[in-house]
Amino acid sequence: MPINVALLKYGYHNFSLTILEFSDVDNLMSREKHFFDVYSPEYNVLNTPGSPSRGSGWRHSEATIENMRLAANNRVKSPEVSDKLSAAQPNGIKVEVVDLETNTSTVYDAIKAAARALSIDRRYIEHYIYLNQDKPVLGRYTFKFINSNDKKIEQLQKTSKKIEVTNTKTNEVTIYPSIGAAARALGYRQASISLYLKDNRTKPFKGIYLFKLV
């Protein structure tokens, strides 16, 4: 499975970037081969040190890239895909997007659907809504939840414990509406932050963050 497909299927929070070893340039090939033999990575397109174009990655032709872009746009805009995205929204909470440049309002069946339509990361939308921001995203978009049954939104807010996150390097303090929201914003697994809180740890998480339920 290509890495780009795996990221979408399993979520970015289930992947991490780790430096296995620092090596001299003269030993790069041998050390790279060593780790290939040890871990047998499934996501590497070129898994033999010294392969042609090694270091520049796999390159698609411009025609192929354009075809892929058009195909992706058509999939997102098709009614079939929209219906599937709507069905995948677990809480049935719709999102209203207001475009301040065109003065138009559009309702999407999920945050993911709105993010795809606007070609932005869904975390922009989550931050705007959950952190009660008032500055338009990208200087253009505002968002809010709408639902025929507002009790669903209220229930979600009541069942989520707010978490205070302190960046020890910048001394910046941010309060998120839930552990999940903090995990998504910081790019870490929710389970890792939950374990940090459960164990009452005092050492900064990843050497940077302190967490506290509020």
**179: pLDDT confidence band, cut at 50, 70 and 90?**
confident
Instruction: Write b or e for each residue in 167-178: b if 16 or more Cβ atoms lie within 10 A of its Cβ, otherwise e.
Output: eeeeeeeeebbb
pLDDT of residue 142: 93
> Does residue 78 sit in the same domain as residue 133?
yes
Q: In the structure, how many helices (H) and strands (E) does the chain have?
A: 9, 6
> Does residue 95 sit in the same domain as residue 165?
no
> Does residue 181 sit in the same domain as residue 149?
no
pLDDT of residue 167: 94
- For 158-168, write each residue's pLDDT tens digit: 445 789 999 99
> Does residue 72 sit in the same domain as residue 139?
yes
Domain boundary among 137, 156, 175: 156
Domain boundary among 156, 182, 202: 156
Mean pLDDT of 7-17: 80
Total count of domains within the chain: 2
- Greater confidence (100 vs 151) lies with 100
**157: pLDDT confidence band, cut at 50, 70 and 90?**
very low
Least confident among 63-72, 102-111, 144-153, 198-207: 144-153
> Does residue 121 sit in the same domain as residue 184?
no
Secondary structure E strands in 70-190: 94-99, 104-108, 141-146, 163-167, 172-176
> Does residue 131 sit in the same domain as residue 205?
no
> Does residue 132 sit in the same domain as residue 74?
yes
> Does residue 185 sit in the same domain as residue 140?
no
Look at residue 87 and tell me if it is in a domain: yes
Mean pLDDT of 61-79: 67
> Does residue 199 sit in the same domain as residue 125?
no
> Does residue 169 sit in the same domain as residue 146?
no
pLDDT of residue 86: 52
- In this prediction the pTM is 0.35
Where in the sequence is the domain holding 187, given as residue range(s)? 160-213
pLDDT of residue 153: 52
Domain boundary among 156, 181, 197: 156
d(CA 196, CA 190): 10
